Amino acid sequence: MTKVIGGYFELELTERYDNIGNAIALNSARNCLRYIIRAYGIKEIFLPYYTCPVVWQTVKKEDCRVNFYHIDENFMPEKEFEKNDYVLYTNYFGVCGKNVKQLAEKYENIIIDNSQAFYMPKYGIASFNSIRKFFGVPDGALLYCDKTTDEKFEKSTSYQKCNHLLKRLDVSMNFGYQDFCFNEDCLLDEDIKTISNLTKSIFNTINIEKAKEKRLENYQTLSYELDKSNKLQIKPDKDDIPMYYPYMSENYVFYRNLFAKNSIEIPLYWNNLPEDFPESNLRNKILLLPIDQRYNKKDMEKILEILNKK
């Protein structure tokens, strides 16, 4: 495209960082998985039941056969796989680094879904993350893969997906929620594309190391107060930079209601699971407490105050 000299100004973004590095930058995490399937010519893959339905829908788009497996209370697969099986493992809530390392040592063709673990180093034959789940960007994902494909992909555009970001900044979260849902729906149908100029520019203005430090600080504030009462006994590995502090409680309904009344958003992932699946117990009882870089110790104390109510 010919560079235009003159005319009106674009949004001015000063790119101070190279946050992409040597990753393959695509438009979404689900399309990173499609890329991996094409690069390796995968015809059959094992997926956890406890994951977003989009994952298996994505795999089926590539005419790849899906086999499912259950996980136990420590988020480890209950099934033993064959040596050459392709297996996708989810780094749940960014606290399963120990599991990732064990599985990578045991299975040759392990693929790690780090959508909830942006900072996790690569293990297995490939791993990928989701930028928008950790930072204020409309889309984008980083893929680390031992194989590449010669296929050429169109560049994505993201200007039409920014309304929820702008509205939350300018007005409120609720004002932009419908736009957020629209954006999520748009991503469902997108083909594999490279990251957009807009997303790349926004992403490269963000000090991701500072964001990591704040996330760890907030996690440790909650961990110090909650670890003893937390029914979930998974401890983060040294490489883990969690997405949330996952707190398991038998009083989850009571606390969810309290959080909602106090304008604290506690997500509930993947309602597609049948209630008789063991993973449903994890899904329902785990409260995913926000710890990201937007918040400080005072915000963490507000969360702790609610959890101290009986």
Listed in order, the ranges of the chain carrying CATH 3.40.640.10 are 24-152+195-203
CB atoms inside a 10 Å sphere around CB 78:
10
pLDDT attached to residue 123 = 97
Q: Is residue 75 left, alpha or beta, with left meaning phi > 0 and alpha meaning psi from -120 to 50?
A: left
| pLDDT above 70: residue 66 | yes
| Model confidence pLDDT, tens digit, residues 272-306 | 888 888 899 889 999 999 999 999 999 999 999 99
pLDDT attached to residue 184 = 85
| Model confidence pLDDT, tens digit, residues 253-274 | 999 999 999 999 999 998 888 8
Q: Does domain 24-152+195-203 have CATH number 3.40.640.10?
A: yes
Work out the pLDDT band at 310, boundaries 50, 70, 90: low
pLDDT attached to residue 186 = 81
pLDDT attached to residue 254 = 95
pLDDT attached to residue 24 = 98
- The average pLDDT across 205-217 equals 98
Listed in order, the ranges of the chain carrying CATH 3.90.1150.10 are 208-307
CB 289 within 8 A of CB 131: no
* pTM reported for the whole predicted model: 0.95
pLDDT attached to residue 233 = 86
| pLDDT above 70: residue 154 | yes
CB atoms inside a 10 Å sphere around CB 41:
9
Supply the mean pLDDT for the chain: 94
CA distance 4 to 186: 29
pLDDT attached to residue 281 = 87
Q: Which CATH class is domain 208-307?
A: alpha beta
| Model confidence pLDDT, tens digit, residues 68-126 | 999 999 999 999 999 899 999 999 999 999 999 999 999 999 999 999 999 999 999 99
Query: Which of 2-6, 143-147, 161-165, 210-214 is predicted least confidently?
Result: 2-6
| pLDDT above 90: residue 210 | yes
CA distance 104 to 99: 8
